Amino acid sequence: MISYLKGRLIRNNVDYIVIEVKGVGYKVYVPANIQESLPKVGEEVEVYTHHYVREDNISLYGFSNIEEMELFEELLSVSKIGPKVGLNILATLSVNAFKLAIVNGEIESLKAIKGIGNKTAKRLILELQGKIDLDNIIEESNASITDNRFNDAVDALISLGYKNGEASKVIAKVFKEDDALSVEDLIKEGLKNSG
């Protein structure tokens, strides 16, 4: 199995790139968002890859980091999700944004992705919701939030009986929608959103 390639970029197409490694050119399908981070043709490039093998198809899919590759592999485990839809998901949402959409059951966010309708969005949520490490995703999504209002609002919900992960998730969602709210308003909106 090929899980990583480092070599010279010799072709950059809309859907794929070709990487030359020791005289061999590897065609690697990539999500559209990776195009911005690619070097110029002729320069060195490195990608994490998923070696996709089916009886009628052997392909390589490339990603800029391990997290994207692991999410892609997780997506392929969902029934009726193939590589093309997996690439569309990664081209549309960051890994954290996708995981938060799954955890929060945001069907509309998922339906905004090309190739995903109502049934597929529900299937993704159903099959992936229990597999996502909520504490890890909350920690990553809050890493940039250094505002004390966020922490104070989370602490307030915890004191009202919420679990830490649940309180963080609710306040993170409110904070994302409007980061100018006071602590009191964050708490009020958090209580409304927790249903």
User: Does pTM top 0.75 for this prediction?
Assistant: no
CATH says 4-63 is which class? mainly beta
Q: What percent of the chain has pLDDT over 90?
A: 46
Over residues 103-107, the mean pLDDT reads: 84
Over residues 24-38, the mean pLDDT reads: 90
pLDDT, tens only, 72-89 = 999 999 988 999 999 999
- Cβ atoms of 20 and 8 closer than 8 Å: yes
Q: Where are the beta strands (DSSP E) in 37-195?
A: 44-54, 57-63
Q: What is the DSSP letter of 191?
A: H
pLDDT of amino acid 37:
83
Is the pLDDT assigned to residue 164 strictly greater than 70?
no
CA separation for the pair 175, 96 (Å, rounded): 15
Q: What is the DSSP letter of 163?
A: -
Over residues 167-193, the mean pLDDT reads: 81
135-193 under CATH 1.10.8.10, yes or no: yes
Q: Where are the domains of the chain?
A: 4-63, 74-132, 135-193
pLDDT of amino acid 165:
63
- Cβ atoms of 49 and 2 closer than 8 Å: yes
- Cβ atoms of 163 and 154 closer than 8 Å: no
Phi and psi at 54, nearest 5°, equal -130, 165
- Cβ atoms of 11 and 35 closer than 8 Å: no
Q: Could you tell me the CATH superfamily of domain 74-132?
A: 5' to 3' exonuclease, C-terminal subdomain (1.10.150.20)
pLDDT band of residue 136 (cuts 50, 70, 90) is: low
